Amino acid sequence: MITLQWLYIFAGLVFLAFALLSAGDRANPKRLGNTAFWGLLAGSFLFGSYLSDLANGLLVVALAVLAGFKWLGQGRPATTTGEERLASAERRGDWLFVPALLIPAVALLGALVLDRTVILGVPLFGPEQPTLIALGLGVAAGLALAMAWLRPPVLAPLQEGRRLMDAVGWAGVLPQMLAALGAVFVIAGVGDRIGDLFATYLPLDHRLLAVIAYCVGMALFTFIMGNAFAAFPVMTAAVGLPLVVEQFGGNPAIVCAIGMLSGFCGTLTTPMAANFNVVPAALLDLPDREAPFNGVIRVQVPTAALILLINVALMYFLAFRF
Amino acid sequence: MWVLLGIAVLVGGFVARLNPLAVILAAAVVTGVAAAFAPGVGLPELWAAALDTIAAFGKAFNDYRYISVIWLVLPLIGILERYGLQERARILISRARGATTGRILLAYFILRQISAALGQTKLGGHPQMVRPLIAPMAEAAAEARHGDLPDAVRYRVRAHAAAVDNIALFFGEDIFIAIASILLIKGFLEANGILVEPLQLSVWAIPTAIAALLVHGTRLVLLDRSLTRQVAAPEAGR
Which segment, A47-51, B96-100, B146-150, is predicted with the most confidence on average?
A: A47-51
Least confident of A139-153, B89-103, B151-165: B89-103
CB interface of A with B, residues 57-76, below 8 Å: 57-61, 63-65, 67-68, 70
Identify whether the C-beta of residue A123 lies closer than 8 Å to the C-beta of residue A1: yes
Predicted confidence (pLDDT) per residue in B185-217, tens digit: 888 888 888 988 888 888 999 999 999 999 999
Q: Do B103 and B221 share a structural domain?
A: yes
CB-based contact (8 Å) between B41 and chain A?
Answer: no
Contact across the interface for A261 and B59, Cβ inside 8 Å: no
Residues 77-116 in B contacting A (C-alpha not used; CB under 8 Å) = 77-89, 91-92
User: For B78, which of A161, A173, A245 is closest by C-beta distance?
Assistant: A161
What is the Cα–Cα distance from B22 to B19, expressed in whole angstroms? 6
* Residue A299 to residue B163, Cβ atoms within 8 A: yes
Within a domain: B113: yes
Q: pLDDT-derived band of residue A88, with 50, 70 and 90 as boundaries?
A: very high
One domain, residues B97 and B113: yes
In a domain, B110, yes or no: yes
> A157 at the B interface (CB within 8 A)?
yes
Q: Which amino acid is at B147?
A: G
Residue B175 lies in a domain: yes
Query: Is residue B237 one of the residues assigned to a domain?
Result: no
Q: How crowded is residue B161: how many other Cβ atoms within 10 Å of its Cβ? A: 28
Residues A239-254 have a mean pLDDT of 92
Which residues of chain B make contact with A6, given a CB cutoff of 8 A?
Answer: none
pTM equals 0.86
SS3 A78: coil
Q: Which of B24, B45, B63 is the last residue of a domain?
A: B63
Residues B217 and B119 in one domain: yes
pLDDT digits (tens, 9 = 90+) for B50-72: 999 999 999 999 999 988 998 99
Question: In this structure, are B133 and B222 located in the same domain?
Answer: yes
Of B41, B63, B85, the domain-final residue: B63
- A254 has a pLDDT exceeding 70: yes
Question: Which pLDDT value is given to residue B234?
Answer: 63
Tell me the mean pLDDT in the region A192-216. Answer: 86
Task: Indicate if the pLDDT at residue B94 is higher than 70.
Answer: yes
Interface of B with A in 188-217 (CB under 8 A): 188-189, 192, 194, 196, 200-202, 204-205, 207-208, 211-212, 215-216
State the smallest CA–CA distance between residue B142 and chain A in angstroms: 16
Predicted confidence at residue B31, as pLDDT, reads: 93
Alpha helix (H) ranges present in chain B?
5-15, 20-36, 43-63, 73-82, 85-95, 101-117, 135-146, 151-173, 180-191, 198-203, 206-232
Same domain, B188 and B129: yes
- Same domain assignment for residues B27 and B77: no
Query: B170 with B85, same domain?
Result: yes
- Residue where a domain terminates, one of B10, B32, B63: B63
Percent of chain A past pLDDT 70, that is, above it, reads: 100
Average predicted confidence (pLDDT) for chain A: 91
Asked if B40 reaches chain A (Cβ–Cβ under 8 Å), the answer is: no
Count of structural domains, chain B: 2
Whether residues B41 and B126 fall in one domain = no
Q: Are A66 and B20 in contact (CB under 8 A)?
A: no
Using an 8 Å Cβ cutoff, are A169 and B86 in contact? no
For every residue of A118-134, DSSP letters joined together read EETTEESB-SS-HHHHH
Query: What per-residue confidence (pLDDT) applies to B238?
Result: 46
Q: Say if residue A316's pLDDT is above 50.
A: yes
Same domain, B108 and B213: yes
Name residues whose C-beta falls within 8 Å of residue B37's C-beta, 6 or more positions apart in sequence.
B2, B46
Residues B113 and B189 in one domain: yes
pLDDT tens-digit map of A9-18: 999 999 999 9
- Would you call A184 and B185 a contact, using CB atoms and an 8 Å cutoff? no
CB A158 within 8 Å of CB A10 = no
End-to-end C-alpha distance for chain A, whole angstroms: 46
Rounded average pLDDT over A293-305: 96
pLDDT at B100 over 90: yes
Q: Reply yes or no on whether the pLDDT at B143 is more than 60.
A: yes
Print the domain residue range for B51. Answer: 2-63
- Looking at residues B182-187, what average pLDDT do you find? 85
What pLDDT is stored for residue A126 in this prediction? 83
Q: Is residue A315 within 8 Å of residue A250, measured between CB atoms?
A: yes
Closest CA to A75 of A154, A172, A162: A162
Is the pLDDT higher at B99 or at A55?
A: A55
**Residue at B170 is within a domain:** yes
The interface predicted TM-score (ipTM) is 0.88
Averaged pLDDT, A291-303: 94
* Nearest chain B CA: its distance from A67 CA (Å): 7
Q: At what angle do helices A130-150 and B73-82 cross, to 10 degrees?
A: 30
Maximum alpha-carbon separation in chain B:
75
Note whether B226 and B168 are same-domain residues: yes
Q: What average pLDDT does range A265-285 have in this prediction? A: 93
Q: Does B86 map to a domain?
A: yes
Whether chain A has a CB inside 8 Å of the CB on B140: the answer is no
pLDDT in tens, A148-173: 999 999 999 999 999 999 988 998 99
B42 and B160 housed in the same domain: no
In-domain check, residue B185? yes
pLDDT at B225 over 90: yes
| CA A74 – CA A78 distance, rounded (Å) | 13
pLDDT at residue B235 in the model: 60
How many A/B residue pairs have CB atoms within 8 Å? 420
Tell whether B238 is covered by a domain.
Answer: no
